[in-house]
Amino acid sequence: MNQSRNVIRYINAAHVIDHMFMLIFPAAILGMTQAFGLDYAALIALSLGGFIAFGACSLPAGWLGDHWSRRQMMLVFFFGIGASAIFTGLSNSPTMLVVGLSLIGIFAAIYHPVGTAMLVAYAQNRGREIGINGMWGNLGVAFSALITGLLVAQFGWRSAFLIPGAVAIVLGGGFALQVREEPIPKRPHTPLKGAAGQRISMVMVFGVLALATATGGVVFNATTMTYPKLFQERLHDVFASPQTLGVVVSLAYAFGAVAQLSIGRVLHRVSLKWPFIVLTLCQAPLLFALAYADGWAVIALGAAFMFVVFGQVTVNDAMVANFVAPHWQSRVFACVTVYRSAPARQRFR
């Protein structure tokens, strides 16, 4: 039991690190233009390699997690992403920045296929633990800009990479000491059947999951990247302060964390079918309403939309955990990560 709780705690911490580190550069970039003599557009383009690596390296990371060792891969994650962040913080040229950001993307790619598979292997209540884990990852998204902005304002842009990098390495040391190597916990895995007793088609299940994940990836990346600009334009008469707008956006993202926690608890009590259907069908109407809303309605609709978007992420992960045999889970979670991250790269084109 202690081993299981230790694993889950470190996996949750790793989820925060994974999302935060991928968003440090976009948040710190405003304090870096003078240091590198480049404008915002030129600097943000340097992060393209990291986002490509985040998707492309998920598949080999998942394969290594299944065939080598998930514990060793998580050690590579903690130490690798920490060292990469420190290297980026010490950069004194655009070339070094490209290398550092690409390395962050490479090591960040390890988490979702390996960490999520490790989580569901040790979780006693899969739905609840997936929801809690998703909440921590979402909080990493929600507060990355606030923490990075504070570090940049107080200590300069380099601290935004150096301090989190050191924290990741310390956590890696704790993981090495407290989580021992052991065989993946075995769970019975039998072909699932529907209510009428017929065997469920895995082709149909993965087809639906692939379609939902691919389209959800477009929506997920579009909303997380455009919310700050959307809120700025639609709430300029309500909140004139940029700092206040930042807090509102962070709270909207945090509402997504609440969704993942609550949906995770719901999945423990009901089948995956109805949460999947309801959350999927709610997205289009909410997105349509959000496109035309103004003023305070944007806040309410924005929070509701975050709820269904991040809630479906939890359902999708639970589908993989329930339908896929344990020795395949890292590779399937890797495919899900590729589907989610691929649309994100379009914003650089």
Task: Flag whether 285 is in a domain.
Answer: yes
Beta-carbon-side half-sphere exposure of residue 113 (alpha carbons within 13 Å): 34
* 102 lies in the same domain as 211: no
- In the block, tokens 């998580």 appear at 74
Q: Where are the alpha helices (DSSP H) in the chain?
A: 2-28, 33-36, 40-44, 48-56, 58-67, 70-89, 94-108, 116-122, 126-155, 157-178, 202-234, 242-267, 273-292, 296-323, 329-341
Same domain, 167 and 212: no
pLDDT of residue 139: 80
307: pLDDT strictly greater than 70: yes
pLDDT at 343 over 50: no
Cα distance between residue 203 and residue 60, in whole Å: 23
171, 210: one domain: no
**Are the C-beta atoms of residues 18 and 138 closer than 8 Å to each other?**
no
Domain contains 184: no
CA distance 112 to 158: 27
Q: pLDDT class for 346, splitting at 50, 70, 90? A: very low
Average pLDDT over residues 117-141: 80
Provide CB contacts within 8 A for 49, sequence distance 6+.
Answer: 98, 101, 102, 105
- Is the pLDDT score of 299 beyond 90? no
Answer yes or no: do 211 and 164 share one domain: no
pLDDT level of residue 32 (50, 70, 90 thresholds): confident
The pTM assigned to this predicted structure is: 0.74
Tens-digit pLDDT profile for residues 189-233: 444 444 444 455 556 666 666 666 666 666 666 666 567 667 767
Q: Give the CATH number of the domain where residue 7 resides.
A: 1.20.1250.20
> Is 195 a domain residue?
no
Whether 19 and 65 share a structural domain: yes
Shared domain for 18 and 158, answered yes or no, is: yes
**Residue 30 pLDDT > 90, yes or no?**
no
- For residue 343, what are the domain limits? 202-348
Looking at residue 16, its pLDDT comes to 92
Number of domains in the chain: 2
Q: Residues 265, 329: one domain? A: yes
On whether both 226 and 309 belong to a single domain, the answer is: yes
